[in-house]
Structure 1
């Protein structure tokens, strides 16, 4: 082995550790905030509708900015933008911890979302620069380990912090982790990709953000109250803006969402699989927490301990699933992972007010293993199909599609789950401000089952998209 190669191997391993820390923080934020929603709602004295946007605003920012910030990575260096993401995420975490009302918390979460978008949009491209195509599946498998471990930490710390300390510490813990990751990134990571000048697309970004906001506002309102003229106007306006966004993107030289990527073989089904997988899986944690804190009356610590085995076994499966994707290609592991996730949703749909809590734990184990098989294979398929100079954009587009699914997963699940019970009561159960007993608990559990069945259909659609994609061949440049 040459000296240069010998030096590159440990640096590549350290680089992977830095990237894993980034997704670990994302995993922590994804679970810890859910468990802390009741404490945040009570501590800030905000309405139930406002506390929803503590979650949704973060996801919406990541969704809208992912491709634009991936563009920054192509222009100024993916590592540099990745490092900037850590700095902004730490700043946003400090602001969240210091928030004094609903508005300040939501604005702080937006800042956090900007940092998370920089990390998410460029992490896939950083991995693609560190590893050759034949090893990227394994690398993305380790990336999945980081997310699973972060989710475990978030679940455990969330239960302990919310019960014994203060909800503000769920944000303070990001600060030392982010600072350490930023220092490591400065010392270890180096930009290798060729810089490419790109234009921004403010009109596309505005129409996409406003369109998604309008639809989400309407769906969030529908989850907490009856349909009215304001909701209809928001929904119609959001849909019109999203249609306008598509036409704007077709005319832009450097669009926010490069639709020409869909002309690359395997790209369209891979992106659609990511969208439907996010739509069918992201709300699972919310629904399970609703079940455990509502009909079953568990406190945050007991609920979190019940979910830990799934995250640990999902983390263990990640590297193996990634190596399988390197050997067999993305189609079989990704599709198998989605099939496993469908089985998990069947298990969740069978939960009742008297069923064993182990059924919930088993369902979480199964769905986390399914996700560990899907994520590395699907990410590898997208990044392998993308031309090298488009890695930043491809990474951002992948994150955008996944995030769009996640954003709508939450509101869709709440609307479906609340059909059997008054919506304001269902929402109160979700944020943990009330519990259920007797016939009302049974009716609500049946509503949750309906939501799981709906998500099962969406997940099956993701599996179809994954199965029909062709083998990711040599990348070719998108054609306008």
Structure 2
């Protein structure tokens, strides 16, 4: 195996670890709530904090990678992620679990912010679509493993092992990463301390305020936090325009393909990535399925996606990202509509879940390799880390807000304690029709948001990948 393929294999392994962890935690949430004697809103921070930390830090860590070496940030990310996973599994309380989840997410942020840039360093522009296709396989295989193992481990062994499973993989991956991922490309420039502080404060205020809406609703405290965050963000923009070495180089938005690809990623995350969470909670809470039974229904989509992603990646190398990425969003939009027909009651055929998951899997395998390769192919070589970090920041902002929207809207028509008990599968009464209507509304809003991303993807413009340098 040549060096390029070795590096690609390591990045795919890291992607797979992140995917395993994301799907496993969703399935285990009800069990964790019961075992650690906590409530749904406290436990949901196990998911939200991970997204929150990655969101706040990816842009800065991407730029740090440009400055000190992307290999250093990426390789040590494996180590931090592995240690965090071990500590999560050993957590004696919900507070310590959330805290150690924050450490784990720091490692995830280090890998996410520089993984795309490592591939861009390793492969030429006209081969990156294929490479990102394989990273898409890593995500889908990891999601499959997470769902299958999450269902089995949570049902038959215990939730702590959903974190312990990362430890042996992480140790092997760390050794391989330090040995083979070497980056000599750095940019000797001053770190934008003022911009880093302002962006961190802004994203923290907005993210915390938004996340808290899921538990408390839209109250004055959350409104103030979000408004303050937006004010600080405006200050950040003015600061960045005057900075010599800004965290976000706003000149990149002069490139239409890059700009539209970045925001297509944001709206795709915002509209689609909470769908799996909604459906799993629906299957466990409304339909009464076990974690293992719910997981099996979603596996086919990930299997299909992992099988065809390399071919769709090669397609984007040949014809550009616009057509495959836009077609992928159309498939994901269709999948949401199928899910909507399922979530209209408590007796709809569960086979429709498999159909929707396959349609969504085809869509993701078309969208991710094409869109990711378009972003990195249209970024200047010296700022791969910054652009990769910005892309992950936008995607994770969309992911966080998608969870907030899904929880807030689905629980809007019933008392919040009823909604949370339904989510956890502990509600003893008849499932309120208004709650099912709320799930329907959350999915419908997701489809509208995803449609915006589809339009942006279609309008990004044509690119000739072989001519991009």
TM-score by length of 1: 0.92
Distance in 2, matches of 1:460 and 1:167, equals 37
Corresponding position of 1:355: 348
SS in 1 for 2:412: helix
1:86 aligned partner: 78
Residue 282 of structure 1 deviates from its aligned partner by 1.2
Equivalent residue of 1:318, what SS? helix
Q: Does residue 112 in structure 1 map to residue 104 in structure 2? A: yes
Partner in structure 2 of residue 278 of structure 1: 269
CA distance in 1, matches of 2:164, 2:177: 21
Residue 55 of structure 1 is aligned with which of 44, 47, 65? 47
Matches within 5 A, 1:2-401: 10-192=2-184, 194-351=185-342, 352-401=345-394
Please give the alpha-carbon distance, in whole angstroms, between the structure 1 residues aligned to 2:170 and 2:96.
22
Question: How far has the Cα of 1:439 moved from its partner?
Answer: 5.4
Alpha carbon RMSD of aligned pairs, Å? Answer: 1.9
Counterpart-to-counterpart distance in 1, 2:82 and 2:31 = 22
CA deviations over 1:290-331 (Å, ceiling 9, x no partner): 110111011101001111111111111211110111111000
Please give the per-residue CA displacement for 1:370-411, whole angstroms capped at 9, x wherever unaligned.
111111111111111111111111111111111111111100
Per the alignment, residue 3 of structure 1 pairs with: none
Matched-pair contact (CA < 8 Å) for 2:285–2:425? no
In 2: Cα distance, 1:110 partner to 1:42 partner: 21
CA 20–348 in structure 1, closer or farther in 2 if over 3 Å, else same: same
Q: Does structure 1 conserve the Cα–Cα contact (< 8 Å) formed by 2:82 and 2:104?
A: yes
Aligned residues of 1:265 and 1:385 also touching (Cα < 8 A): no
Task: Report what 1:427 is aligned to.
Answer: 420
Does the alignment pair 1:457 with 2:443? no
1:419 is paired with a residue of what secondary structure? Answer: coil
Structure 2 distance, partners of 1:386, 1:399, is: 14
- TM-score, normalized by length of structure 2? 0.94
Contact 1:386 1:475 in 2 (8 A): no
Q: Distance in 2 between matches of 1:161 and 1:231?
A: 37
Q: Does the 8 Å CA contact 2:331/2:359 hold for their aligned counterparts?
A: yes
Query: Gaps spanning 5+ residues in structure 1: where?
Result: 1-8
Change in Cα spacing, 1:466 to 1:223, as seen in structure 2 (3 Å) is same
Residue deviations 1:133-172 (CA, integer Å, cap 9, x gap): 1111111001000000000111111111111222111111
1:403-424 Cα offsets, whole Å, 9 max, x none, are 1111111001111222232223
Answer whether contact 2:273 2:402 (CA < 8 A) is retained.
yes
**Cα distance in 2, alignment partners of residues 171 and 388 from structure 1:** 36
- 1:435 deviates by 4.2
**Offset of 1:226 from its aligned partner?**
4.6
Residue in 2 aligned with 1:404? 397
The answer on whether the counterparts of 1:281 and 1:455 sit within 8 Å (CA) in structure 2 is: yes
- Equivalences, count: 465
Matches of 2:179 and 2:338 in 1, distance apart? Answer: 46
Answer yes or no: is the 8 Å Cα contact 2:209–2:226 preserved in 1.
yes
Deviations 1:50-109 (A, max 9, x none): 212111111111111112111222222222221111011011111211222233222211
1:234-253 per-residue CA deviation (whole Å, 9 max, x = no partner) reads 23223322333322322322
CA contact (8 A) 2:329 2:367 kept: yes
- Give 1:361 shift: 1.7
Partner SS state of residue 266, structure 1: helix
Displacement of 1:475 in angstroms is: 5.6
Q: For the residues of structure 2 that align with 1:189 and 1:236, how far apart are their CA atoms?
A: 42
From the superposition, tell whether residues 196 and 221 of structure 1 become closer, same or farther in structure 2 (CA, over 3 Å). closer
CA spacing shift, 1:202–1:163, aligned 2, 3 Å: farther
Q: 1:226 to 1:308 in 2, by over 3 A?
A: closer
